Structure 1
Amino acid sequence: MMDLSQLTRGVLAVSATVMTLTPATSAASQFPLARSAWLDGFTLTEYWPAPERWFRGAKVVAPGLTKAYPVDFLYSAMGVAMEGDGVGVDGSRVHLASGLTGYVNAKGVKGGTPYWANEMFWLNSSGLLTFPLQAGGWSNGAWASSKPTNKVNAKLARFEPGPSLGASGAPLRSLASVAVDPKVIAYRSAVYLSAYDRWFCAADTGGAIVGRHLDVFRDAPTVRAGGTTRLSQRIRVLIPADARKLLPLLCR
C-alpha cells in the first residue's frame, strides 16, 4: 500500500504527468477555478494542532472528554479553543467539537486581543485572568475566590477525542492538507506546492485565509515561534474533478 509520503511527494511519476496535462497559466478568468491551472502570487503560512507539551495548567476533564488535559491547553487562545485541534504528550488527539461562544482578553472580558475562551477561567484580585498550574500556584496571581463572579465555569464549549475534520469534511493530515479560500480554490482540489515538493488536499479554511493565501497543516514545531511564511509562491491547482481522477487517494 502506498504511504502518505509517497502519495504526496511531487517526485512521483504521476505528478510529472499531472503537471503537464493541461496548459499552464498564471492567471485565472474566474474563481473558484473552473479548470486546472497554475496560479502566482500566493502567500504560504503554516498551522498545526496545539501540542500539550507547550502548556502548564492544572489538568481538567472538559465536557465531551474522559481524559484530563491542562486547562490552558484546552481553553487558552494558544490552545485547542483557538486552533481547533490538539495533540497530547501521549499522542492522543482532541478537538473542539462545538459550542464555543467567543473569546475574552486578559481582563476576562470580550474585546481586544483574544487570550482565553469565554468560559472556564478565573480572575485574580486585580481583575486579571489567571489559572491554576500543574506544579501548584497560579499563572498570574491567586484566584480572588471571595467573589463568585471571579470564576467562570465551563459552559457550552464541547470537546471530543480524535482529530478534527477540515471545513471540507476531509480529515486534516500533516503535510497533506492545506487551508484555502474556497472562493478561490474549491474544497477537495489538489494543490501542488513546490516549496514542499508535495501535493496537498484543499481540506480546510480559516478566518484569516483570504484570497491568495494558503495555510499548510503540519506537525507542531519544537517551539511556539516556529513555522515558516513564504511569499510570492507559484502553485498548481487541480480542480476536484481532475484531482479525483489523477490523485484519487489525496482527499480520501
Structure 2
Amino acid sequence: MTMQRRDFAAALTAALAAPAVLGAAPAQADERRGEGDLSRDMLAALTAELGGDRHTAKALVPLLQDVGFDWHPETAPLKKFDFVVAYGFGNRPPAGGGDPAKVLFEPGPVNEALADTVARVRSRIDVPVYAQWEIARFLDSKYGMRDVTSIEPVIAADGTITYLSTDGVAAQILEHRKKAPGGVGTACVIGFRDHHKRCVQTTRDRAMPAYAPAGITVPGTYDPESGQAWTRRRDLYLVHDMVAQLTVLRTKLIAQAYPNG
C-alpha cells in the first residue's frame, strides 16, 4: 500500500469511527480537514487502486464523498415552509409482549424527542404536520396538537403489521399533499440527526421540495434499547444509512445511463 493510500485509509477510518467528527458542524469539519484536500486525497488513492483509471475515479469521488462524508441536509428558513414532515427513528419492543408481527412496537424515547422538535417548530409556524405514527402518538398525547396527520403502518386482514420505510412514509405524505388546496408546497423535514439528510433527499425524490429547518437542532442520542438493532449505535446506523443512500444512488445512476432499460 502506498503512503497516499495509507493516509486516505487512515482518514476514512478516523472519520467513520469518530462521532465527534461526523457530528461536527460543517465549518468545524472543514477545520479538521479541508474538502478540497479530502477530494484530492480520495482521487489520488482511488486512481491508484483502480490501476490508474482516473476517469472512473473522478466519477466516483463526489459520490463517495457525498454518501460517506456529508451528513448535513440543505436548510431553509422557517418562513419558507408550507407543511412539516416528521420521520420516525427506532422504537421499543411491545411493552406487553405478544407476537411482534401483530403487536405494534412502542414509539420509544427518540421519537418523543422528535415530537418535541416538531412542537418547537409548530410554535413558530402554523402549518399542517405529517408525522410517522411513532411521533404522531406523542404529538397527540403530550401536546394535543391539532392538524396532524399520522402516517400509520399497514395492517393486513390477518393482523400482520408492515412498517413503512422512509420512502414509504414519503409516498403516503405525497398522496395527502396532492389534495392540499395550495398544491404540494415545500416541506420542513424533521428527522434524527444521522437520518436527517436522507429524510430530506427521500422527500425530494417523491417530488416534494424539501429542506431541514435552519436554526433547529434535531435529536441525535441513540437508544441502546431500540427494537431496531441498526438504530442502537451510531457506527452501525451510519453503515446502514450509507447502504440505503447507495441503493437509491445505484438506481438513479442506472436509469440515467440507460433510460430505455
Structure 1 length normalisation: TM-score? Answer: 0.26
Larger strand fraction of residues: 1
Q: Which structure has the higher relative contact order (CA within 8 Å, separation 6+)?
A: 1
Larger helix fraction of residues: 2
